[in-house]
Structure 1
Amino acid sequence: MASIIEVDVEQPACTTRHAWARVPEEPSPSEREALKARIRTLLRERGAIMVSHYYVHPDLQDLAEETGGLVSDSLEMARFGRDHPARTLIVSGVRFMGETAKILSPDKTVLMPDLDATCSLDIGCPADDFAAFRAQHPDRTVVVYANTSAAVKAQADWVVTSSCALDIVRALRDQGHKILWAPDKHLGAYIERETGADMVLWRGSCVVHDEFKAFELEQLRRDHPGAKVLVHPESPAEVVAQADVVGSTSQILKAAAELDAEVFIVATDNGMLHKLRTLNPGKRFIEAPTAGNSATCKSCAHCPWMAMNSLRGVLEVLETGLNEIHVDPALIPRARQPIERMLAFTAACKRGEPAGALVPGIGAA
C-alpha cells in the first residue's frame, strides 16, 4: 500500500499552496527480482524502451540501462526516445518529462509509472497565470526552463536546461534581448548574475533545492575540509556561493569524475548519488544539508514525486497500457519549436560551431 504525504509548494507568483505525493511501498528482495524479470520480458515483447531520470529509484535507473534504455536529464531522455526505433516509451520521472517526450515523439506511445508524479516548478507555473505574466512584459524574449508544462512551453521563445541556459541567455543578451524567465527563481537569478542579462523572473522554486541550507553547509565543509562542493543552480544563492562547481546533473557527474578529490558534498536531489557512486567507486559522496540542527531529518533531499516511480508502476503500464501521456495536438508544434531551437543551439556548440548565429536579433525572432 502507498501512503500519502502533503507537500508544501507555496509559490508567490500564483495561487498554488500545497500538493500531495504517494510513497510506494518497497518490494521485498525476492519480489524486486521477479518484477525486474517480468519487466525485461515485457519490454522485449512490447517493443518498448525505458528512459529514467537520475532522481528516480536506483532500480529504475539500473533497469533502464540494462535493457538498452537511458538514464539522463529530461531533454536527453526525450531526445533519446525520439531517435530510438521503439514505438513505446516508458518514462520514469515526472509529468513534464513525459510531456516533453510526447512533444518530440508525437507518433509514439508514451507511458509513465504514475501520471500524478509532478514537479513543484511545473504546478507552480500555471499556463493561464504565466500568460498574464507575459502580457505584462510584451517586449521581452520568453525563456522557460524544461521543468514546465507543454502549455507553458508553447508560450516560450526558447526552452532551456540547466546545462545550456547560461550559453543561450548570454547569446540572447549579446543580441540585445531582454529576458522574461520562468519558473525557477534561483536558477534565473544565477543566470542573471553570471550573464548580466536584463531579466524579469517568475518566482517559482524546487521543493528540494530550495531547502538546502547555507549555514549548515558551512559546518559540513568544516567537518570535511578536503571535500569539493557540487551544487545544482536551482539552489539558493548562499548555497551556490559555496560551490566548487555549479552545474546541471550531467555537469555534476563530469565534475565528480574529473576533480582530484576523494570526498564530495552534493547539493541536488539525492537520487543522483546512485549514479555518482556507481561511476566513482573510490570516492565518497555526502548529501548537502536541507535542515538545521534541531530538525529530525538532517538531509531529506529527495523529490516526493520522483519517489512515486516504482517497479510495480512500470510493470502495470507495460501489462495494461494505462497512464499514457497525451498532449493537445494543437500545442505540440508551438511547444516543439522552442525545444528544437535549444537542441539546434546545443548541437552547434558540440560541433564547435558559432551557435550564437542561431540567435536572431531583436525584431527577427
Structure 2
Amino acid sequence: MKHRAGEVLADVQIPRIKVPAHPIPRQMLTAEKEALRERIKELLQQRNAVLVAHYYTESDLQDLADETGGCVADSLEMARFAAEHPAQTLVVAGVRFMGETSKILNNEKLVLMPDLMATCSLDENCPIELFSDFCDRHPDHTVVVYANTSAEVKARSDWVVTSGIALPVIRHLAAQGEKILWGPDQHLGRYIQRQTGVEMILWPGSCVVHEEFKAEALEELRQRHPEAAVLVHPESPEEVVAQADVVGSTTALIQAVRRLPNKEFIVATDAGIFNKMRQLAPEKILLGAPTAGEGATCESCARCPWMEMNTLERLAYVLETGEGEIKVAPDLAARARIPIQRMLDFAKTLAE
C-alpha cells in the first residue's frame, strides 16, 4: 500500500512484541564490584576469551572491555574485531543478533552472551516466515536488510547493511537499475529514501528506543539550548531527524562530539552511548533528547531494556559455567555470511 509520495510501506501485519520492563540492577558496594571485575578478568584469561561490548551496554561492561584488550563498538565492528582477534572464545555483550553475527563471521569460535534472552525489537518485528513470504511476493526486488535482524533473515537477503554504509549501498544498487525491498526499520529506510530519491518497499518495523523520541519536546529543548548541536540516529522518526545537525550511525555520532566545536550536544539515540562520548570528549555537555511529550509511552526512555540485561554478574556467570552459547547451524551461517561479506567487500571499494 502507498504510504506517501514515492514510498511503499509493506502491507504486512507484524507481530506485537512484549517489551520487558527495565531491569532493576542490584546495588553493589565498591569493593564487591571491584572483586567481581577482577574475577571476570581472570576468567577471560583462563578461557582465552575476549569481551566485545556494544556502545549501548552499561558503562561497567564497556570499561571492562577496554581494560582487557577487548572492543567497544557497533555491531559490525564487534564481529570484525572478533574475527581478527586470536581468542577462541568471544563474549558478546549486546543483543542476540550481535552474537549471531559474531558467530556467522567466526563459526569456528565459541561465542557466549551474558543473557540469551536479550533480543531486539527490530529482530522480533521481522520473523523469517513473514519476511520470506513477503520477499517471495516481490521476486524482482533486491532484498536489503539492516544488521539488526536474525541469522535466518540475513540468509534470506541479498545484502546486509549497517546504518553507516546503507546510503552508498542503496545508491550503488539504484545505479544498477535494481528495485529495493528494505527491512526491517521503516524510519531508517525512509531516511535513505529521502537522501537518495530511490523508491523502496519498506518493512514496517521500528526500534522501541528511537521511536520514543518526540519532535515537539525536542524543539522545546533546542530553544532552551540554542547553541547545542543535535545528533540523531536515523532509526528515529522523520520529524526528529529533520531537526538534526548530524544524522548518522552510533560511530558517526561519537565522532561528531569530538569533531564539532559546540560545547553542548543533544543526543537522540540510546543513552548508553554517553559513556564513550564522555571518555573521548570529557569537556562536552551531553543532553539526552526527550522521550517525553504528547503521545509518549516511554517503553524505552532512551535505554534499550534488552541491552540492560547484560550485567557484570551475568558476564561472570557465563564465564564460570560456559552457559549462554550462541549457536548458528553451519549451513545457515554459510548462507548468512554471503550478504554480509558482500557488504564488507563493497566497503573496501569505498576505502580505496
Same fold at TM > 0.5: yes
- Determine if contact 1:51/1:77 at 8 Å carries over to the other structure: yes
The 2-side partners of 1:241 and 1:294 are apart by 19
CA distances 1:79-103 after superposition (whole Å, capped 9, x unpaired): 1111110000000000000000000
| Cross-structure match for 2:48 | 47
In structure 1, distance between residues paired with 2:341 and 2:123? 20
1:20 corresponds to which residue? 20
Stretches of structure 2 that go unaligned for 5 or more consecutive residues are 1-10
Question: Which residue number corresponds to residue 199 of structure 1?
Answer: 200
- The equivalent of 1:70 in structure 2 is 71
Q: What CA distance in whole angstroms lies between the structure 1 residues aligned with 2:22 and 2:216? A: 31
C-alpha change, 1:24 and 1:112, in structure 2 (3 Å) is: farther
Q: 1:322-364, CA deviations, whole angstroms, 9 ceiling, x for partnerless residues? A: 01000122211110000001111112212x2xxxxxxxxxxxx
* Partner AA of 1:238 in structure 2: E
Q: Superposition pairs for residues 84-123 of structure 1, below 5 Å?
A: 84-123=85-124
Structure-2 separation of matches of 1:143 and 1:26: 41
- Distance in structure 2 (CA, Å) of the matches to 1:254 and 1:311: 27
Q: State how far apart, in whole Å, the 2-side matches of 1:114 and 1:266 are.
A: 27
Could you tell which deviates more after superposition, 23-32 or 85-94?
Answer: 23-32
- Aligned-residue CA RMSD in angstroms? 1.7
How far did residue 296 of structure 1 move?
10
Contact 1:291 1:298 in 2 (8 A): no
Q: Give me the whole-angstrom Cα distance separating, in 1, the residues matched to 2:53 and 2:171.
A: 30
Secondary structure of the 2:230 match is strand
Residue number in structure 2 paired with 1:360: none
Distance in 2 separating the partners of 1:312 and 1:82 = 26
Pick closer, same or farther for the CA change 1:337–1:64 going to 2, 3 Å. Answer: same
Structure 2 CA distance for partners of 1:73 and 1:197, relative to 1, 3 Å: same
Contact 1:13 1:204 in 2 (8 A): no
Q: For residues 242-300 of structure 1, what are the alpha-carbon distances to aligned partners after superposition, in whole Å with 9 as ceiling and x for unaligned?
A: 00000001100111111110000000000001111111011100000011179797992
Question: For each residue in 1:50-80, what CA deviation from the matched residue of structure 2 results, as whole angstroms up to 9, or x when unmatched?
Answer: 0000000000000001000000000100111
1:252 equivalent in structure 2: 253
1:32: how far off? Answer: 1.2
Task: Describe the SS at the equivalent of 1:117.
Answer: coil
Residue 24 of structure 1 and its aligned partner are, at CA, apart by 5.0
Contact conserved, 1:91 with 1:98, CA < 8 A, in 2? Answer: yes
**Aligned counterparts of 1:218 and 1:25: Cα–Cα separation in 2:** 33
* Alignment match, 1:282: 283
Q: CA deviation at 1:30?
A: 2.0
Kindly tell me: are residues 323 and 279 of structure 1, through their superposed partners in 2, closer, same or farther at Cα, counting changes over 3 Å?
Answer: same
Check the 8 A contact 2:208/2:300 in 1, yes or no: no
Shift in alpha-carbon separation, 1:321–1:22, aligned structure 2, 3 A:
farther
Which is worse superposed, 109-118 or 190-199?
Answer: 190-199
Aligned residues: 341
Counterpart residue type for residue 118 of structure 2: A
Distance 1:19 1:265, change over 3 A: closer
- Superposed structure 1 runs of 4+ greater than 3 Å apart: 293-299
Q: CA deviation at 1:116?
A: 0.1
Whole-angstrom distance in 2 between the partners of 1:21 and 1:113: 18
Cα gap change, 1:14/1:297 in structure 2, threshold over 3 Å: closer, same or farther? closer
Decide whether aligned partners of structure 1 residues 24 and 87 sit closer, same or farther in structure 2, where only a CA change above 3 A counts: farther
Query: 1:285 & 1:302 partners in 2: Cα distance?
Result: 15
Which amino acid letter does the alignment assign opposite residue 250 of structure 1?
A: T
Q: 1:299 to 1:333 in 2, by over 3 A?
A: closer
- Deviates most, 129-138 or 51-60: 129-138
